[in-house]
Every structure is written in structure tokens, then in C-alpha cells.
Amino acid sequence: MSKTKWTKPVDEIVEMAVGWVTERGHSFDERMGYLLAQQFYTGVDLKRAGRKLQKRLETAVGQAMAEKRATERDEYEIMAAALRAEGWQYMSDPTGVDAGLWMHTQTYNSVNRMGGFFRSWEEATRVTFNSATRQLLNEREDDK
């Protein structure tokens, strides 16, 4: 007879839940451990099993999210370096309400939402880097 009353190995449950949060964007809250225990625990003390699982989930999800943010930050820094090399400059919102936008220093083109600023540096960088405006400016430079 098995020592554990889990129908699936706890490590697999934790790995599955971390994937839900980091890859699929599911929200993580204080009930996730209990909800997963309801699915995969057949023992008597369900609440205790849920609390123990929740502690493991908090640690694992926290580490995974920190790694994901660090990786994304590195990717955004690479995008920003490419934009700067092409003549783009990041302009902060003077009101301080939003983050800002990227403006091309030679053509004064910018990528923005109907004349507004982006809510975060990351969003402004991602949208500008992938924009049609940037592609057209690069094509013009290549034609010269």
C-alpha cells in the first residue's frame, strides 16, 4: 500500500500549476493549493494537504515568475538597444500618468495609441519594435 494519499505525484502537480501560471497566464491565489488537493488528494485531512501544497506552490510559482520576468527584461533590453541603434529615443510622459513612447530622432515618427503614451516601458518597447512604422523606416534606410 502506498504511503501517500496523492493520486498524482506532488512534484508533478506543482510543475503543472507553475505552467498554468507562467505559460498560460492563469491567476494564482491562496486557494489554488486547496483546489488542487481536492482533485488529487484522497486522504482524510484535505485542508492540511491543501495548505502544505499551497506553500510549495507559492515558492515554486514565485521562483518561476522571477525567472520569467528576468528573461523578459533581458529580451526588452535587447529590443531597446536595437531601437536606439536605429535612431529611436524613449520619451517619458511629462505628466507622469503613463510611461512614455519611442520617437525616431531623425523623422520624428512615433508609435503610439491615437496620440497617447503607453502604460509601461515594456509595452512601448515591444509595440515599437514590432511596428509597421519601424519596418518602413528600416526599408527606407536600406533603399538609400
For 91-136, what is each residue's pLDDT tens digit? 998 888 888 999 999 998 888 877 788 888 999 999 999 999 999 9
Angle CA 99–101–106, to nearest 5: 150
Q: Domain containing 126: what range?
A: 86-143
Task: Check whether residue 66 and residue 92 sit in a common domain.
Answer: no
Q: Which residues 6+ apart lie within 8 Å of 13 measured at CB? A: 6, 36, 40, 53
Task: Check whether residue 93 and residue 67 sit in a common domain.
Answer: no
Query: Using CA atoms, how far apart are residues 97 and 119, in angstroms rounded to an integer?
Result: 8
Q: What confidence tens digit (pLDDT) does each residue in 33-73 have?
A: 999 999 999 988 999 999 999 999 999 999 999 999 898 89
In DSSP terms, 88 is beta-bridged to: 104
Query: Structural domain tally of the chain?
Result: 2
Task: Check whether residue 48 and residue 100 sit in a common domain.
Answer: no
CA dihedral over 131, 136, 139, 140, signed as positive or negative: negative
Q: What confidence tens digit (pLDDT) does each residue in 19-36 have?
A: 998 888 788 888 899 999
Residue 1 pLDDT > 60 = no
pTM for the whole structure: 0.61
